[in-house]
Amino acid sequence: MNHLQSLFQLYPITSSILLILGSLRVLSIIYRFYNFLYRKFLRPAKNIFKNYGESGSWAIITGASDGIGKVFCKSLAQRGFNICLIARNYDKTEAARKEIQEEFPGIQTKIVIADFLKSIENPSEFYQRIADDLKEKNINDIAILINNAGVGKISRFETMEFKDMNNLVSVNIYPTAFMTRIIVPKMLGRSKKSLVINLSSMSAVNPFPYYAVYGATKKFNDQLAKSLSMEFKGRIDFLALKPNFVATNMVKTQPSGFVINVEDCVEGCLRDVGWQGETAGHWKHDICEWFIMNVATKNMKAKTSIETLAASENTKEMEIKV
């Protein structure tokens, strides 16, 4: 204590500046902690149907037959939206549609079958066919688009197959860009605001070894949402969902620790709709994002990535699909 007093006496101006900066830093930490508590536990969720929906409004979800996409379908059906499921496997998609229809008989459900892996061959023709299918099925008042379809690949860059790189670009980037291009003009003709949610990833927040191509495609989804939110401010809300590990076919694990289930991921995301332009979804993943951005060193990230890569190689589950 005497030593500190001596420093203040010898360097009063410098000491005062350091004291002020330290105090500001402490206040910043307190504010960020309070803001986190308010956003995740105290702030009320907005009424999504009231803000975006009308009688007969549709929500379109890609990658809808399973996992996060299917839970988005159920959550939005519960809120009163008609649901259009887009996925590549007819049997799985039709089964999901029937399940949702039985659970929520007061809404309409329809499907569009599209294998996004093939979209890169002739994008104009491929996405025009989807647009025509939507029109033929009288899916007109489109209030919400969830760009959820995606594939993943954890791999050493120098040994990644060209086919896998092509799949990452074809499924993670093309559908997000082209589906948004198809739907946005329809949304602009509505009397209410609309909503677009892009599935990004925590790997888009900060670089990770072995996630290079996957993370780059997810960064595209993040950047597209942020840019378009400025372009269509006041008319269409855009939200980038950037979760960490979620217990889906992609992760191939059970919920535990900071691995959350799909329901918590989706509800955490929908809780932030209309309030902000990006979210990690669940509060656990907010903590993960803060840790990655502020605490984790390059060595820590590399160690985590190496362990994930090794586990994938051992189980031969390198390819992950939604």
170 Cβ neighbours under 8 A, 6+ residues apart: 116, 117, 118, 119, 120
Q: CB–CB of 66/96 below 8 Å?
A: yes
How far is the C-alpha of 130 from the C-alpha of 60, rounded, in Å? 12
Say what the pTM is: 0.86
User: Is 7 a domain residue?
Assistant: no
Pairing type for strands 142-147 and 194-199 reads parallel
Average pLDDT of 179-190? 97
Q: What percent of the chain has pLDDT over 90?
A: 62
pLDDT at 132 over 60: yes
Rounded-to-integer distance, Cα 274 and Cα 197, Å = 11
Q: Kind and range of the H or E element at 195? A: strand 194-199
Separation between Cα atoms, residue 292 and residue 300, nearest integer Å: 9
32 domain residue, yes or no: no
Cβ atoms within 10 A of the Cβ of 58, count?
Answer: 26
Predicted confidence (pLDDT) per residue in 215-263, tens digit:
999 999 999 999 999 999 999 999 999 998 888 765 556 656 768 889 9
Q: What is the pLDDT of residues 277-288, one digit of tens each?
A: 999 888 888 887
Task: State yes or no: pLDDT of 206 exceeds 90.
Answer: no
Alpha-carbon distance of 33 to 13, in angstroms, equals 30
The answer to whether residue 293 is domain-embedded is yes
Strands 319-321 and 151-153 come out as antiparallel
Per the domain annotation, does 21 fall within a domain? Answer: no
Rg of the chain, C-alpha, whole Å: 22
In a domain, residue 304? The reply is yes
274 conformational bin, left if phi > 0, alpha if psi -120 to 50, beta if neither: left
Strands 278-279 and 236-241: parallel
Residue 3 domain-assigned? no
Are 286 and 258 contacting, i.e. CB atoms less than 8 angstroms apart? no
Higher-pLDDT residue of 186 and 9 is 186
CATH number of the domain at 287, please.
3.40.50.720
Return the active site residues. Answer: 214
* The predicted structure's pLDDT at residue 3: 62
The runs of H, that is alpha helices, within the chain are 2-10, 12-37, 48-52, 67-78, 90-103, 123-136, 162-172, 174-188, 212-231, 262-272, 283-294, 298-315
Structural domain range at position 213 = 47-321
Residue-by-residue DSSP string for 95-115: HHHHHHHHH-TTS-EEEEE--
Average pLDDT across the chain, whole number: 86
Cβ neighbours around 149 below 10 Å, total: 27
pLDDT tens digits, 136-165: 999 999 999 999 999 988 888 999 999 999
* Mean pLDDT to the nearest integer, 48-74: 97
What does the pLDDT look like over 78-124, one tens digit per residue?
999 999 999 999 999 999 999 999 999 999 999 999 999 999 989 99
In a domain, 25, yes or no: no
Buried b (16+ CB within 10 A) or exposed e, 176-200: bbbbbebbbebbeebeeebbbbbbb
Distance CA 171, CA 16 (A): 56
Domains identified in the chain, total number: 1
Task: Tell me whether residue 281 is in a domain.
Answer: yes
